[in-house]
Chain A
Amino acid sequence: MAAEATCGAGAGSTGSLAAAVGMSNVTSFQRRGPRVGGADSGGPRLMSIAGTRPSVRNGQLLVSTGLPALDQLLGGGLAVGTVLLIEEDKYNTYSPLLFKYFLAEGIINGHTVLVASAKEDPAVILQELPAPLLDDSRKQELDEDIYNHKTPESNSKMKIAWRYQLLPKMEAGPVSSSRFGHYYDASKRIPQELIEASKWHGFFLPEKISSTLKEEPGSLTPGYIKLLQFIQNIIYEEGFDGSNPQKKQKNILRIGIQSLGSPLWGDDIFCTENCDNSHSLTKFLYILRGLLRTSLSVCIITMPTHLTQNKAVIARVTNLSDTVVGLESFIGSERETNPLYKDYHGLIHIRQIPRLNNLICDESDVKDLAFKLKRKLFTIE
């Protein structure tokens, strides 16, 4: 089973990661510990969690977003305790895919998954997750694919646009079977037993909102309040914030919130010009970040920012999130027929990367990125 294999590999891997959250003040940002006890199989204070790895820059714990190409652009992965905000594309075709890749990565690695949605039942969302590509049989096929693709390219040198030759080539396919990121087959569904073996929590808004609230802290919409309380309960009960020190195996909580800010959540910030509760969404994001920073969790949020023309709101939301990625698909726009974009399905904009524990961040040098979705691969070039 892929999940157990990953766990086994994770425990025996680099023992230099100091992820002992229970020891000190609970924070998910730990410096890379000294390699004193690194030679032995890891004393009690050096634990590593499956599916994570420390960043080479500052020793933070990173998880994979489910897309190795995106991991590379974000500087190795998503830091634990941060929020990844995805600005949805106009017809919402590709952002659910990124959302599902993220959740599938969590299930494969054995993380606990929390799915919150206002329009689809979380159980249904989990059924539709893509299946992971196993290394052995598929790799051969893909190797041939890449090989054929690469040979004509490498032979022709660019004459006019020779500067572009110096650009780094993006990794297009599964080059090695890394346990940190997996490749998924978008046309297949994840095996049922993997879902059942994993631990997940669902928050479906129409079910939860039926009860009335006694008190209203702050001016948040009831849906947001409920969601925050739900997340906080899960974090507290399952000990992601280190409050339960008897837990032997530390794990990561992956939270996925779909279409936050849309009218389905009861928030009309993106629909009306001057709405009453205009700070509901921003307060929610702030408190959510507070919850994430003090626990071992990662969160992905998809947000339909294309619904509003109000750039101030988008700017505020961007400032409140850590990593922001925008998707722009070519469907229905004039770029579809542009020969330059013939092979691609859309553009991907990395709008913000956090500078955590550091003065600088890992910005990639390449700023114009486009993505394409093949049956087995989501590549970004």
Chain B
Amino acid sequence: MDSAGSVVSVAPQLLIQSAGSRSSECSRNSITFSTSPLTGRSRQDVAWSRRGQSRERSCRLHPGRRAHDPGKLTLLCDAKTDGSFLVHHFLSFYLRANCKVCFLALVQSFSHYNIVGQKLGVSLTVARERGQLVFLEGLKSSMDVFFQAHKEPHPLQFLREVNAGNLQPLFEFVREALKPVDNREPAWRCPVLLVDDLSLLLSLGVGAVAVLDFVHYCRATVCCEFKGNVVALVHDSGDGEDEENDILLNGLSHQSHLILRTEGLSTGFCRDVHGQLKILWRRPSQPTAQRDRSLIYQYKIQDKNVSFFAKGMSPAVL
């Protein structure tokens, strides 16, 4: 528990240990993460549960992350389940950390994200008015693009194109949104690009290579030039029938620093455990840290938070 490298070694021991009382085990679980030195340095750690006193001790999702850790690409991947709760989490996390966020919300409407955000404690309308959040609502803008012809390029211009479009206008939109403005505006922290659903771009006629190019450009601009972070969600069909999606997923997995993969349980549907989350760190920044650490948690989504627990430790089972 003292050095960064031994975090992983503590966790398996915890699972093998036979129980004391259940509450002490659960609290041990959280202690492992909350007092590890990496977390101690981060001030922006978000406690996933609002009160933190629940019996299924929710663990913190970011033991090693710091909001001012620049230049990371995080890939959210869901396989046969719905991983959108991670998108909501990251959105509220970065907004609370006072970062400037550009959110490409292609899947749902603004009010949906707003209402869920209010449950998690942030108000998107306020953030948008303050200028902290730049929100591209895909559903509404697509209607503008489709039904009226525009002179200047619209971010969703590819909807009108007959062949596999390119995402250049979208990239220009992102760059314009996250460009650091150097007047007396209150300085937000690192810029963040959040994309809800890159797989949707494939469905709308953009080729996998074009989407990979777009991510590459965004990474070069947002991560390296603006020192920000990029978070993107991709669906995984799992069986390998959607080739374009697989190309996209494989390409992004190699580029990303952190992969959060949600899957359903392999044994089928369960009311108390909604799925399993695999966390995989790649390309660690410090050379002394271990390479490619991975952790697996199971989770249950509740109304206002998500509780995580180690495999097999769901209170329904114990």
A residues sitting closer than 8 Å to B (CB atoms) are 25, 27, 29, 31, 58, 81, 215-219, 228-229, 232, 279, 282-283, 286-287, 289-291, 293-294, 310-312, 315-316, 319-320, 355-360, 365, 367
Contact = CB atoms under 8 A, between A and B. Distances in A.
A29 B304 CA distance: 18
A359 B204 contact: no
A184 B139 CA distance: 35
A358 B82 contact: no
Contact of B204 (A25, A58, A286): A286
Contacts of A290: 138-140, 142-143
A280 to B, nearest CB: 9
Nearest to B158: A218
B112 A286 contact: no
14 contacts: A31-B115, A219-B162, A283-B159, A283-B205, A287-B159, A290-B143, A293-B109, A293-B140, A294-B143, A312-B242, A320-B200, A357-B111, A359-B306, A367-B269
B104 to A, nearest CB: 14
Given A290-B140, A359-B119, A310 B241 contact: yes
A283 B138 CA distance: 12
Contacts of B160: 217-218
B271 interface: yes
Nearest to A311: B241
Given A219-B162, A229-B147, A357-B115, A282 B203 contact: yes
B245 to A, nearest CB: 7
Nearest to B202: A316
A29 B109 contact: yes
Given A287-B146, A311-B237, A315-B237, A218 B139 contact: no
Interface string B230-247: 000001010101111100
A356 B139 CA distance: 15
B85 interface: yes
B300 to A, nearest CB: 9
Contacts of A232: 143, 147
B303 interface: yes
B161 A219 contact: yes
Given A355-B84, A359-B119, A293 B139 contact: yes
Contact of A359 (B85, B143, B203, B241): B85
B10 to A, nearest CB: 30
B70 to A, nearest CB: 29
B209 to A, nearest CB: 15
A217 B302 CA distance: 43
Interface in B192-251: 199-200, 202-205, 235, 237, 239, 241-245
B66 interface: no
Interface of B: 82, 84-85, 88, 108-112, 115-116, 119, 138-140, 142-143, 146-147, 149, 159-163, 199-200, 202-205, 235, 237, 239, 241-245, 269, 271, 301-304, 306
Contacts of B203: 279, 282-283, 286, 316, 319-320
User: Which 4 A/B pairs are nearest by Cβ-Cβ distance?
Assistant: A312-B242, A279-B205, A290-B139, A282-B203
A283 B84 CA distance: 21
B112 A357 contact: yes
B87 to A, nearest CB: 11
A294 B159 CA distance: 19
Given A228-B146, A283-B204, A360 B301 contact: yes
A28 to B, nearest CB: 9
Contacts of B304: 359
B302 A360 contact: yes
Contacts of B200: 286, 319-320
A291 B141 CA distance: 10
Given A320-B203, A358-B116, A359-B302, A286 B237 contact: no
Contacts of B163: 219
A62 to B, nearest CB: 16
B173 to A, nearest CB: 18
Contacts of B82: 355
Given A286-B203, A320-B203, A58 B115 contact: yes
A316 B139 CA distance: 16
B162 A357 contact: no
A294 B161 contact: no
Given A218-B162, A283-B159, A358-B115, 20 more contacts: A27-B109, A27-B110, A279-B203, A282-B205, A286-B142, A290-B139, A293-B109, A294-B139, A312-B237, A312-B241, A312-B242, A316-B199, A316-B202, A319-B235, A356-B112, A357-B112, A358-B116, A359-B301, A359-B302, A367-B269
A83 to B, nearest CB: 12
Contact of A291 (B119, B143, B245, B306): B143
A255 to B, nearest CB: 15
A141 to B, nearest CB: 38
A58 B242 CA distance: 35
A216 to B, nearest CB: 7
A22 to B, nearest CB: 15
Given A229-B147, A359-B116, A219 B205 contact: yes
B116 A287 contact: no
A287 B111 contact: no
A217 B150 CA distance: 11
A289 B106 CA distance: 11
Contact of B242 (A25, A286, A287, A315): A315
